[in-house]
A = this chain, B = another copy of it.
Amino acid sequence: MPSAYGNMTAGELDEAIASLESEAAELKARGLSLDMARGKPSPEQVALSLPILDVLTSSADLVDEGIDASNYGCPDGLPSARALGANLLGVDPSQVIAAGSSSLELMYSLVSKAFSTGVRGDAPWSEQGPVRFLCPAPGYDRHFAITQHFGIENVPVRMRGDGPDMDEVERLVEGDPSVKGIWCVPKYQNPTGVTFSDEVVRRFVSMRPAARDFRIFWDNAYCVHDLVEPGETVMNVFDALALADVTDRVYEFASTSKVTLPGSGLAWLAASPSDIADVKATLSLERVCPNKIVQLAHVRYLKDVAGITEHMAEQAKVLRPRFDLVERKLSEGLGGLGVATWTHPKGGYFVSFDGPAGSAKAIVALAAQLGVKLTPAGATWPGGVDPDDTNIRIAPTYPSLEDLSAALDVFVVCVRLVSARLARDARG
C-alpha cells in the first residue's frame, strides 16, 4: 500500500516537504534538549521505592533463617532472597542463586565462564573454534554487546508477533553445533513488547540442540512489569522443560532493577540443579558473597510475590499515561499516513517503531538536530546493523509527561519529513 506521500502529486509532495521543513526549523529554533533514549524508570517511579531505605536500621534483626546478613558467607544469597526469586519465577529455591544488583552482570559472568572454562565440563567456547549466538531482533543491545565482546558471532533472527522466528531458531540450533546460545526476553520483549506464546516456549524446550553446551539465556527482565490489568503471561519455562522431559537448557534471569531502586537491588539466576551446581563452583571463586544487607532489605520490603505485584501496580499508574501519550501522539501524527507501524505493549519499557525502509537513521539524526535524543538507529540489531533501517526504540518511561509530549511532537515531524523525502527520492 503506497503511503499518503506516495499518493501525492509531485507538486503536493514538494509543498508537504516545504511545510514540514518549516515546522522542523521552528522546532529547532526552540533549542530543545529532550531524551527519549533510556530505558530508565522515572523519578516518580523511583520515589515509590524509597521507603526501602527505612527498612533496616542499626537496631534491626539482621539474621535471615539463621544466616547473619551483616557478615561474610552464604555465597548463593540469603535463603529468603532465594525463596522470593523462586516464587517469582515459579521454581524451587534450590534452583535459584540470589546475587548482586545486576542481572546483566550474571549474564556476562555466565558467558565469560562458558567462554573461559566451559559449560558443565565441555570444552571452553574459546577452544571450540568459531562460536555463534542467536539474537532475536529487534532486541536488546546490551545482550548483543556481551557476546560480541567475547568474539562470538551474533546471528540475527527476526522477532515475530509471538516471539522469535522459531523455524529459523530450530534450523540453526539443531543443525549447527557452533550455535551455543540465544538471547531471549520472553515477556514484553525489549523493544517489541512481545510476550512469547506458549507454542514458542514449547518449541524452545523441545528443540534438540546440536551442541550439548547450548543454553537459552532467558532474561525475564519484565516478568512483573505489566502496564495494564491483567497483563500478559509467559509460560513457566521450567514447567515446560519438565513436561518435555528436558533438564539442562535454560538460564533464567530476573532482577529488582525496575522494581525498586535501579542498580541498587538484587538479581536472580534460575537453572537446572546440575547447571546451578556448575555455576556455583565458579561464582564461589568470583566473590565471597553477594551484598546480603541489600537482599534482606528487599525481602523485608517487598515481602512476597503479592507484595511485588502490588508495588508494580503503583508503578504502572505512573507509566501508563506515558505509554498512552506515545500511542495518542503517534496515532494523531502518523495514523493513516501509511508510513509507520508501532507496537502497543501491555508492559515492559519500550515502544518499537518501524518507519519506511531506509528511514531510521535519518529520523534519529534529524531528531537529534531538533534537540531530541533517541536510541541510535540500528541499536536493536546485533552489530548495530538493521538490515532495512526501519526500527527505532522509543523509551517513554524517564521523561516527564510534558517533556515526552514535546519530544513526540518532534519525533512525528521527523518521521513525516523523512518519509516524504524518501517518497520524493523514490520517484528518482
The answer to whether A57 touches B58, judged by C-beta atoms less than 8 angstroms apart, is no
- Residue A146 interfacial (CB < 8 Å): yes
Interface residues of A in 54-98 (CB under 8 A from B): 54, 56-60, 68-73
The answer to whether B40 touches A108, judged by C-beta atoms less than 8 angstroms apart, is no
| Nearest 9 Cβ contacts at the A-B interface | A50-B58, A102-B287, A264-B293, A105-B287, A263-B289, A72-B262, A108-B286, A264-B291, A101-B291
Q: What residues of chain B lie closer than 8 Å to A287, measured between beta carbons?
A: 101-102, 104-105, 108
Q: What residues of chain B lie closer than 8 Å to A293, measured between beta carbons?
A: 53, 261, 264
The answer to whether A54 touches B51, judged by C-beta atoms less than 8 angstroms apart, is no
Q: How far is the CA of A142 from the CA of B104 in the complex (A)?
A: 24
The answer to whether A108 touches B71, judged by C-beta atoms less than 8 angstroms apart, is no
Q: How far is the CA of A391 from the CA of B127 in the complex (A)?
A: 38
* Given A104-B286, A285-B149, CB of A46 within 8 Å of CB of B58: no
Q: How far is the CA of A293 from the CA of B56 in the complex (A)?
A: 14
Q: How far is the CA of A116 from the CA of B52 in the complex (A)?
A: 38
Q: Most chain-B CB neighbours within 10 Å: which of A52, A104, A261?
A: A261
- Residue A282 interfacial (CB < 8 Å): yes
Q: Most chain-B CB neighbours within 10 Å: which of A54, A105, A124, A145?
A: A105
- Residue A200 interfacial (CB < 8 Å): no
Chain A to chain B contacts (Cβ below 8 Å), 12 pairs: A70-B261, A71-B261, A100-B100, A100-B291, A102-B289, A104-B287, A142-B288, A149-B285, A262-B288, A263-B290, A264-B292, A264-B294
Identify A150's interface contact among B53, B56, B73, B116, CB under 8 A: B116
Given A43-B68, A54-B57, output 20 extra A-B contacts at Cβ < 8 Å.
Answer: A40-B71, A46-B71, A50-B58, A70-B262, A70-B264, A72-B257, A73-B263, A101-B287, A102-B288, A104-B286, A104-B287, A104-B288, A105-B286, A105-B287, A112-B112, A117-B149, A145-B285, A149-B282, A263-B292, A264-B292
Q: How far is the CA of A126 from the CA of B126 in the complex (A)?
A: 8
- Residue A115 interfacial (CB < 8 Å): yes
- CB of A71 to closest CB in B, whole Å: 5
The answer to whether B105 touches A116, judged by C-beta atoms less than 8 angstroms apart, is no
Identify A291's interface contact among B56, B60, B104, B291, CB under 8 A: B291
The answer to whether B290 touches A101, judged by C-beta atoms less than 8 angstroms apart, is yes
- Residue A139 interfacial (CB < 8 Å): no
Q: How far is the CA of A112 from the CA of B115 in the complex (A)?
A: 10
- Residue A209 interfacial (CB < 8 Å): no
Q: What residues of chain B lie closer than 8 Å to A116, measured between beta carbons?
A: 112, 115-116, 126, 150
- Residue A41 interfacial (CB < 8 Å): yes
Q: How far is the CA of A288 from the CA of B105 in the complex (A)?
A: 8
Select from chain B the residue with minimum beta-carbon distance to A46. B70
